[in-house]
Amino acid sequence: MNVPQLICQKKNGEPLSREQIRFLVSNYVAGKIPDYQISALLMAIWFTGMTAAETTELTIAMAESGDVADLSAIEGVKADKHSTGGVADSTTLIVAPLVAACGCKVAKMSGRGLGHTGGTIDKLESIPGFSVDQSMSSFVQTVSDCGLSVIGQTADLAPADKLLYALRDVTCTVDSIPLIAASIMSKKLATGSDVIVLDVKTGNGAFMQDLPSAVCLAETMVKIGTAAGKKISALVTDMNQPLGSNVGNALEIREIIDVLNGKRSGDLKTVSFAIASQILITSGIASRIEHAHEKLENALTSGRALDCLARMIAAQSGNPGVVDQPELLPSAQLQIAVTAQTGGSIKFIDTARVGHCAAILGAGRKKKQDPIDPAVGICMEKRLGDQVVKGETLAVFHVNDEKHLRESMELFLKSIVIEENYADLPKLIYEVIGFDEKK
């Protein structure tokens, strides 16, 4: 096949065939097609889009460009969950133990955090001794024994996605819904689970900031998963404020434990239950939302969900004692209150900025190889709509290195808008898209 001809075909808005897409992906991964030609193709896709069939074929070609996990040795239904990212979004480590306690196996490969969003792998690594680097046989064994396992993505998982994403990042073609959907779903298909539930975030702390784009992305990914033979559903949820109260790796593990032992409720628990309910329904373990919620509440109040988390931690060389003694987690030397400069109602929170504030303290990274401090971060004391008086604590900063403290505090205060009139609170869950929808 002639690569310039295929680029021209896409530039003119003509769909690429299955064979043409597979040719392009396989030869690019093999190093036979140069970056400059694939860059031109990506820009053509950005301008002209892709049909549903093209997007599905691109996703499958990317998924099959490397290893595809074989989970057949794990008995029962295997589920995977993915969030498009946000601030204080610790749902994975609440959802996975909950559904595992209800009889659904969770086999998840996760990535690290970058920018203002936190990574599940980074959170887990704040647990003393915890190893995210597991062989496939150990991964399968842990899922079989504990009901769940979360590990880092292997180097050979969807290598086409790694190459294409790096190219999209430097050619300004990241914000293309077909390319975003193919990137996410290629990794989900390669991990081999039967059931996939997606949490697509929208709002000022999310990648898809407007609701129509988030819904479009969710629907696109559900269609891809369905065409690939997966049971899949998606939720579109709000990210106009941090989902949980704690922003930072060990701090988020503390909040996860508080939710699983019944000490904390709120938006983080609500969204976690919504995602977990979809997993149980999509996998056939529950027939309706009410039934799913009953199972999940029982898993939580009985202590089974927290026990599942402890068993996974032990199986992956971590200290399971953290679930009973969170003080075993890393803690920062200083706790510094940030107070309101005026009184009124919290009208707006710039969520991405809050995430960046935690990153400035050392909780996040600019580049994937940057080190992070697992102990530092921010504990939010107030949420949208809350009334505050001047001098009242808005958040507590957990700090080890004061070098960038002032910068982070000043940015945080700019992130919070306090006005006299009350704020209109956003919805928490905007839409649920079922795996059997025909759209």
Which CATH number belongs to the domain containing residue 336 in this structure? 3.90.1170.30
Do 102 and 234 sit in the same domain of this protein? Answer: yes
The structure's pTM equals 0.93
pLDDT digits (tens, 9 = 90+) for 133-152: 999 999 999 999 999 999 98
In-domain check, residue 70: no
Cross-strand pairs, 232: 196
* Residue located via tokens 């086999």: 107
Cα dihedral sign for 324, 325, 328, 333?
A: positive
Specify the amino acid at residue 171: T
Cα 116 to Cα 85: distance, rounded to the nearest angstrom:
9
CA angle 109, 68, 193 (to 5 degrees): 55
Domain boundary among 49, 67, 87: 49
Do 338 and 243 sit in the same domain of this protein? Answer: no
As annotated, the active-site residues are 82, 161, 168, 183, 187
Cβ–Cβ < 8 Å for 283, 194: yes
Predicted confidence at residue 40, as pLDDT, reads: 97
Which CATH number belongs to the domain containing residue 23 in this structure? 1.20.970.10
- Torsion angle, alpha carbons of 206, 207, 213, 215, to 10: -60
Cα 147 to Cα 79: distance, rounded to the nearest angstrom:
10
Do 284 and 337 sit in the same domain of this protein? Answer: no
In-domain check, residue 147: yes
Residue 315 neighbours by CB under 8 Å, 6+ apart: 141, 142, 145, 146, 149
Please name which of 439, 429, 436 lies closest in space to residue 200, comparing C-alpha atoms. Answer: 429
More confident residue, 283 or 153: 283
pLDDT digits (tens, 9 = 90+) for 207-228: 899 999 999 999 999 999 999 9
Cα 277 to Cα 432: distance, rounded to the nearest angstrom:
11
* Residue located via tokens 């909950």: 98
Specify the amino acid at residue 354: V
Residue 36 neighbours by CB under 8 Å, 6+ apart: none
3-state secondary structure of 395: strand
pLDDT band at residue 434, thresholds of 50, 70 and 90? confident
In-domain check, residue 213: yes
Mean pLDDT for all residues in the chain: 93
- What's the token pair of residue 327? 């003080």
pLDDT digits (tens, 9 = 90+) for 290-305: 999 999 999 999 999 9
Predicted confidence at residue 370, as pLDDT, reads: 77
Do 82 and 225 sit in the same domain of this protein? Answer: yes
Run of H or E residues at 33: none
More confident residue, 74 or 439: 74
In-domain check, residue 8: yes
Do 226 and 372 sit in the same domain of this protein? Answer: no
Cα 186 to Cα 153: distance, rounded to the nearest angstrom:
13
* H helix and E strand count, the chain: 16, 13
Average pLDDT over residues 6-35: 97
Cross-strand pairs, 430: none
pLDDT digits (tens, 9 = 90+) for 145-204: 999 999 987 768 889 998 998 899 889 998 899 999 999 999 999 988 999 999 999 999
Do 320 and 341 sit in the same domain of this protein? Answer: no
Residue 211's domain comprises 78-153+170-325+429-433
Do 208 and 353 sit in the same domain of this protein? Answer: no
Instruction: Using alpha carbons, list the distances in angstroms from residue 296 to 109, 117, 389.
Output: 23, 27, 38
